[in-house]
Amino acid sequence: MTNYENLLLKAYNSIPKKALTQERFEVPKVDSFLQGTKTIVKGFNQLLDSMRRDKKHFIKWLMKETALPISEVNNQLIINGKVNSYQLNKLIESYFKQFILCPECKKPDTKVITEGGTKLLKCEACGAIKSVSGL
């Protein structure tokens, strides 16, 4: 083999295996219902498991976006106001795009790292790094 082909093979072998898979990721949808003036979101812990992010950060971000007080009781998120399921799922989709999905490969295999006091979103699949504010 030529030198170029050896370098190409070496580069291909250094690509993380997660980057080579083509499965399609979908942002999880939440199940919610209104109870008086409150919105109850069921299965909150399953949503957090798929996010792999800090619960406090997500709740704080959601409070800021909805401008409503939020609490958590028995694996349910309680929003003290009326938010329909469509709006809630759009907000969750926005959170995923901002803080979870890789900007390059669009996979959710990211983690938050800190370098020099700056929070960075590092993709474990393709290796891309993006600065994120608000984390």
Count of domains for the chain: 2
Whether 20 maps to a domain, the answer reads no
Residue 27 has pLDDT above 80, yes or no: no
| Same domain flag for 108 and 128 | yes
CATH of residue 74's domain is: 3.30.70.3150
pLDDT the model gives residue 56: 87
For 72-83, letters b (16+ CB in 10 Å) and e give eeeeebbbeeeb
pLDDT the model gives residue 55: 85
| Same domain flag for 109 and 92 | no
Cβ atoms of 125 and 109 within 8 Å: the answer is yes
Whether 3 maps to a domain, the answer reads no
| Same domain flag for 40 and 92 | yes
- Range of 85's domain? 29-100
* Count of Cβ atoms closer than 10 Å to residue 18 Cβ: 14
**pLDDT category of residue 18 using cuts at 50, 70 and 90:** low
Give the number of C-alpha atoms closer than 13 A to the C-alpha of residue 8, restricted to the C-beta side: 5
AA identity, residue 81: G
| Same domain flag for 40 and 88 | yes
Quote the distance between the C-alpha of residue 115 and its chain's center.
20
Burial of residue 103, with CB atoms counted within 10 A of its CB: 0-12 exposed, 13-18 middle, 19 or more buried? middle
CA distance 95 to 116: 24
Proportion of the chain above pLDDT 70, given as a percent: 90
Per-chain mean pLDDT for the chain: 83
Q: Which of 4-18, 44-58, 87-101 has the lowest mean pLDDT?
A: 4-18
AA identity, residue 122: K
| Same domain flag for 109 and 88 | no
pLDDT the model gives residue 57: 84
